[in-house]
């Protein structure tokens, strides 16, 4: 079921994306991003020819819709919770990080760099998508009882947060998004690594209540999981706090105060369902014994992700320097 949903909806999104690309080709006569940007600015081979604004808006809508499926932005997110729940946890961990980061990077490359001068067209669309994504992901996650579905809606909420940074300048947006993606990769992979470690043949520990009293049997696993959840919630001193702080400050710096306030509000909302898992692990009595499936690679992943998640929150300067060097 998970595979079919991913394949069918993925094929649909690719078709929508390709249709948007074909419309841009019809408008500009090229599929090269640099040449499209030149044509849209009126300085290329199409200089003097008035581009069809309706066609340009329609092409942008199709392009955003295609990319929206790839990163599970609302209203193109329908596949993600079911695929996350149905796929094996290691596959879910990969899907939560790899394709999502790649999709965000491509959106950044296309809209923030190549189509920067057309922000008046795509900026309004992206604002609506970002707000809807952040609100939907945060609110629907509140009522989830399965931890993988909760992390799926959490991931949707994070996408909405990241998309807000596209509304700032290229330099500030690139820095905020690059840092957020770096932090998100490690804290999200770490959380799924804990879920993988707690999987056993007799019990998959996919319900949130299955984590009751984890601290009494596996204190170090509970502590690491709490670290990842605090980071996802944006609580200091973790990488997630620095990541969200960067985006909020970038929004304020570019006069998007209302969006910054919304981001803070829904960060508080998201903290509730993350802290709920922490309370289950630390405050409730254990319902069963835990038999973690440790392996050397898994222990290395847990140690690495935990160290970087905490390290980027305490001392983010090295990563900040690298991002500024790569900034366009």
Q: Which residues pair with 207 in a beta bridge?
A: 146
- Domain residue spans of the chain: 2-326
pLDDT tens-place string over residues 193-246: 999 888 755 556 688 888 888 888 888 999 999 999 999 999 999 999 999 999
d(CA 178, CA 206): 31
pLDDT (tens digit, 9 = 90+) per residue, 47-75? 334 455 788 889 899 999 999 998 989 88
Residues of the chain with pLDDT under 70: 42-52, 200-205, 328
Query: What is the CB neighbour count within 10 angstroms for residue 257?
Result: 10
pLDDT at 199: 76
Q: Output the pLDDT for position 48.
A: 37
- Residue 323 has which token pair? 């991002």
User: Residue 42 has what pLDDT?
Assistant: 60
- Predicted pLDDT at 200: 59
The pLDDT score that the predictor gives to residue 49 is: 44
Check residue 115 and give its pLDDT: 85
Q: What secondary structure letter does DSSP report for 236?
A: S
- Residue 254 in contact with residue 168, Cβ under 8 Å? yes
How many Å is the Cα radius of gyration of the chain?
21
pLDDT of residue 46: 41
State the pLDDT at residue 44: 41
Nearest to 41 by CA among 128, 114, 143, 106: 114
Contact yes or no for 208/280 (Cβ under 8 A): yes
């Amino acid at each position: 079921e998970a595979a079919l949903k991913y394949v069918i909806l993925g094929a649909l999104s690719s078709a929508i994306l390709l249709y948007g690309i074909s419309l841009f080709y019809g408008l500009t006569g090229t599929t090269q991003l640099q040449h499209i940007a030149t044509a849209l600015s009126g300085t290329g081979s199409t200089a003097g020819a008035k581009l069809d604004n309706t066609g340009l808006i329609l092409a942008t809508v199709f392009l955003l819709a295609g990319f929206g499926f790839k990163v599970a932005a609302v209203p193109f997110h329908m596949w993600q919770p079911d695929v996350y729940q149905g796929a094996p946890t290691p596959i879910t961990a990969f899907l939560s990080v790899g394709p999502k980061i790649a999709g965000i990077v491509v959106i950044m490359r296309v809209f923030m760099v190549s189509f920067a001068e057309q922000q008046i067209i795509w900026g309004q669309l992206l604002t609506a998508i970002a707000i809807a994504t952040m609100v939907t992901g945060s609110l629907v996650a509140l009522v989830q009882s399965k931890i993988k579905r909760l992390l799926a809606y959490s991931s949707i909420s994070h996408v909405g947060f990241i998309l807000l940074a596209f509304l700032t300048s290229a330099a500030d947006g690139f820095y905020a998004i690059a840092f957020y993606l770096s932090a998100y990769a490690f804290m999200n992979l770490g959380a799924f690594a804990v879920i993988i470690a707690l999987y056993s043949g007799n019990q998959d520990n996919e319900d949130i209540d299955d984590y009751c009293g984890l601290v009494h049997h596996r204190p170090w696993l509970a502590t690491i999981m709490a670290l990842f959840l605090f980071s996802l919630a944006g609580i200091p001193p973790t990488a997630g706090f620095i990541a969200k702080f960067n985006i909020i400050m970038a929004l304020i710096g570019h006069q998007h105060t209302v969006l910054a306030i919304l981001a803070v509000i829904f960060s508080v909302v998201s903290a509730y369902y993350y802290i709920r898992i922490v309370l289950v692990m630390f405050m409730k009595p254990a319902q069963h014994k835990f038999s973690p499936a440790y392996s050397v690679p898994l222990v290395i992943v847990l140690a690495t992700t935990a160290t970087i998640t905490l390290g980027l929150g305490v001392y983010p300067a090295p990563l900040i320097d690298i991002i500024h060097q790569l900034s366009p």
